[in-house]
Amino acid sequence: MYMKSLLVLVSAALSLANAHQHHQIPLSNEHIQHDATKPLQETWLSKYGAQIDQPFSGPLSFSHLPYSRCLEDESAEFDIAILGMPFDTAVTYRSGARFGPYAIRSGSRRQKESRGYTMSWGANPYTMGAKMMDCGDVPVSPFDNALAVDQMEVAYASLLARNVSAKDLDVSAVNPARHLALDGLEHPRIVSLGGDHTIVLPILRALHKIYGPISVIHFDAHLDTWPAYPGTSTDQSRITHGTFFYMAKEEGLMSNQSVHAGIRCKLAGIEDLENDEEVGFQLISTDDIDDYGVNGIIQRIRERVGDTPVYLSLDIDVIDPGLAPATGTPEAGGWTTREVKRIIRGLAGLNFVGADIVEVSPAYDNAEITGIAAADLVHDFLSMLVAKEPPKRFARPGSIWVPAKDEL
């Protein structure tokens, strides 16, 4: 019975094949004829236009900015550069911040020049006269910290020496710190993406050559002014992400007008605060925001740094780990992202010579929330660098709120 059924199936298959044999057309050029009455296939460009990058596509540069390997392309000119420093071999707890520049750029994918306007700033930083460019990452050594620190300093100094793009514009609208340069020239400004916080030491070394002693506005949960850690046995081992400010003070890189904001770490004792004051910092703790409010903190920071050259360094752990978990040394009880953003807006108009965001370690992130927060803070940095003063409240179309006369 089985063999009979099999023979029936084979016979049916052969019959079907013979039925289609006379309808097959061999593939050859003589059988392909072009119909001249039909138009040729449209190209993508003629049918759909430019090949734009979507929020989830395209090369990875910060906010889809123009990208150049500026360290090797010495013809690249810019007013503000984004520069990655993927260094994390001087940490005291969890490593991984070498992936920070990637995470921050990834977090910025929904941002772009054409949609850079925010209600909080009342402006788009990309349309305010400064040319911005993503200059890629410094290829730092992960094997030799002394070499890596030198590589970062040379890279930063190289970009500081570039010609600015807006030299024919009113430079005071692009860089209010121009008059503070020791050589009297206009220098670009750099927003660095860390990397662990050690990157600030080579940055301050490079900036000091241009501006002299720098006042630092330091957002962080930790002081980072400790002299050294137990087990230090070489000069290079003294340099960590918790000691770099102490080293900078030893080298005379900082003014005596620096300020911490958001401090809440555990200490060895009051002697840590006494040492911190000797390094040149005043301290605003996390709890101070409850007593003095955002505006009070802004006022104290501005009074502290005055009209000196100012560098802003923001460790992502200043934000509570419930809102930004991806960092190497998390501390409970931090500020919210919104509070930090409001403080940054209040600092616009100071003589900023550069800024950074550090200690983003994406291996500890959830749904990219830390990378997204960091990218949004960098957008605030760009607005801060080109704004002449803090934004004022204004009457927004459709808003139910009408600012008072003294707020306009």
pTM: 0.86
**DSSP letter (8 states) at residue 392:** P
Specify the CATH number for 77-386; select among 1.10.1060.10, 3.40.50.300, 3.20.20.140, 3.40.800.10: 3.40.800.10
Contact 108, 63 (CB under 8 A): yes
Task: List C-alpha distances in Å: 2 to 7, 9, 14, 16, 172.
Answer: 9, 11, 19, 22, 94
Q: Which of 112, 2, 133, 4 is nearest to 58 (CA)?
A: 112
Domain boundaries, the chain: 77-386
pLDDT tens for the 408 residues of the chain, in order: 555 555 555 565 555 555 555 555 555 555 555 555 655 678 888 888 888 888 888 889 999 999 999 999 999 999 999 999 999 999 999 999 999 999 999 999 999 999 999 999 999 999 998 999 999 999 999 999 999 999 999 999 999 999 888 655 554 456 777 789 999 999 999 999 999 999 999 999 999 999 999 999 999 999 999 998 887 788 889 999 999 999 999 999 999 999 999 999 999 999 999 999 999 999 999 999 999 999 999 999 999 999 999 999 999 999 999 999 999 999 999 999 999 999 999 999 999 999 999 999 999 999 999 999 999 999 999 999 999 999 987 767 877 777 766 665
Task: Determine the residue type at 171.
Answer: V
SS3 355: strand
Q: List strand residue ranges (DSSP E) for 131-257, in order.
A: 132-137, 189-194, 215-219
Contact 238, 244 (CB under 8 A): no
Helix (H) or strand (E) holding 358: strand 352-358
